[in-house]
Structure 1
Amino acid sequence: MQLHNVIVLALEAVVYFLVLITLLHWRHRIGIGVFITVLATMHFLETYLAATFYVQVPMATISPGSAVFFAGKLLMVLLLYIKEDAATVRQLIYGLLVGNLLSFVLGQILALHGGAMTPGGMPSDEPFLRDLGILMVWGTSLLYLDSIGIILIYERLGSIMGRRMLPRFFVAGMLTLAFDQLGFYGVLNLLTGAPASVFWGGLAAKMAMNLLFVALTGIYLSLFKSDGAASPVKGISDVFNDLTYRERYQDLLARTGRDGLTGVHDRGRLEFEGPETIREAVRNGRAISIMIVDADHFKEVNDKYGHLEGDEVLKRLAGVLTGAVRKIDMVYRFGGEEFVILAQDMGHRLAVDTAERIRSEIEKNVKAGGERVVTVSIGVSAAPKDGRSLLELISAADRRLYRAKAEGRNRVVGS
């Protein structure tokens, strides 16, 4: 029977996910309101089940409402944020909060009726109606905090995990569900006397369902293109407004600040985001390095093969650079045939080794006119040894670049 319950729980999760993800995917044709309405109507069922419906699984007693439907809803909130923005998430959360609060208030007014009964003549369960209303209001209040928390954790993890969405989904969901389980169980225990085994069993079940839902999300994202989202916020008072602004700003920034020829970031983007990136790294004691890459004798390439071939060489250089660095590293076209690489969490020695590898790969793979080998000179600097600002690091790397040129080109100078 316990194994049977596990299979049924997995079936519930799959059906729940498939229906909700289909509605989310087709939101532009059928309207986002359909997805939000279905997600909201499930809130009553999950709260009711969390209060009254528990099943036995190996080593635990859990409720499908809490383990399956709430864990799934939290991931759907995060997906809604990524697919749309925080303003849309706000509509869902505020609607639930007001609706459940209204249900609780009206439930108290209904208690004023005298002799309320069921159609079969049995007395109505007014205490249960009151307790369910309290749980729904408390659960939605937690959901408000959970939604903010899972979004912020997901975004913060971007600086650690880069653009790897699924690991960020899993960790953000795990931490947020643990917080929610603690908060919801406290009130559930107060109202119903739920034993500690309900807490631990529910926590383990939520972690398992989080893994299942992330796996299902991975399948979905592998079949359908997804997009990114926002960044940290200042406070909690109007956090969804701030999140929405940051999400739209980051999306705009991701589509601008590109060099039209090579496709890498342009100098303006470096001057805009570089200073803060370096300040934050220095402030947090994290390594950060700058590499300035300059094509040797590039004027001769233009003179001999023409500017169109010179443009193609720059594109090839940019391709080698972007392919040789990590996802968290940023490549900028600084001007003409000069590129800058901003490498986060990379110390001086590793930066010099990386620059040498880049130099070697360019020498092997980039040619002008199909015959002339193109080489580069690279100057490297790192914080805090060579400076604590973008200007200081650029200046140090530039001085070393000129030394590389003076010493014969096609080399790396890092000190």
Structure 2
Amino acid sequence: MFAGKLAFFLLLYIKEDAESMRQPTYGLLIGNLLMVVLALPLNYYSDPAQLAWRQPEMDFINQIGFLMVWGTALLFVDLIGMVLLFERLGAVVTNTILGRMFISLAVVLSFDQLFFYLGLYLVTGAPLSAFYGGWIAKIGSALFFSVMLTLYLRFVEKSPLPVGVRRATDVFDRLTYRHRYEKLVGRIGKDPLTGLQDRGQLDEKGPAMLTEALKSGLPLSLMMIDIDHFKAVNDNHGHAEGDRVLQAVANALLNAKREGDELFRYGGEEFALLCPEASAGAFMLAERMRAAVADTVHPKLNRSVTVSIGIATCPANAKDFRELLMLADAALYEAKGLGRDRASISAMSAGEYR
């Protein structure tokens, strides 16, 4: 059975990557540890007279628990060794899948049998014949599963297999490839300071949302939001404090926006908010967001932080996203010109702006 597990993990490595191979191992280890933890209270059962006919054999349970954890710990070492051997064999011994599988499994299973027998001997005093009997069975299993997997890869899974031999460092790098890839994908399109969507996401989502709004006949409002006198924060309190202010403002805007709105960091101290179906209520929403920012406490500043907001709506102001962006920006400058800490709605169409 253990040989079958290793063969399964090797198949995962060949067809997927080592991250996929490693995940089931975590499940095995956690499951075995939970079984040991659940059995621990039995050691403290202090009423042997009650249910005496079904008292647990604690020595046996503790031995099994130790061997389960020891065997799973060995499995981690086995997996790394098996991957290294499988890759190395392609360069120095054989490049056939059958040969690489069998030799990898045979060597790793021999190593595992030796160290598992040592644990078994220390716990139970098992005779040497247990080592030889288990080793012969595992080598036979290695041959059986190698043949079965080779036939499976040849006649069932006919997609191309990875070719070439990697260095040991490449193999270890592959152990976390998928995890690092998923983290990288999660960071793409995100502003690293605030965690908001970045300008690129606005340029991609804005036109798509505008097109959908025109098709559905529902309005789409765009807000351009700028922090008032932000340069003074950097000049008087340093850029580190300026970064904290940006993060605090971003969180305030996130908490104040509606569920379907899309918030972006446009650049510097400026943000953009796309608001579907918010034509009539866009100004009220802008006022709510402005108030949320003004109410945010900044412990290291001796003043509140405010924002100015410019609003433009499709199709009332423009039917092109670039024009909508220009009109919202113009409304933002109008809000700043009127004294800041306020929202301004564009009253122009794209043709009037030009």
Q: What is the TM-score normalised by the length of structure 1?
A: 0.39
Q: Flag the structure with larger Rg.
A: 2
Q: What is the TM-score normalised by the length of structure 2?
A: 0.45
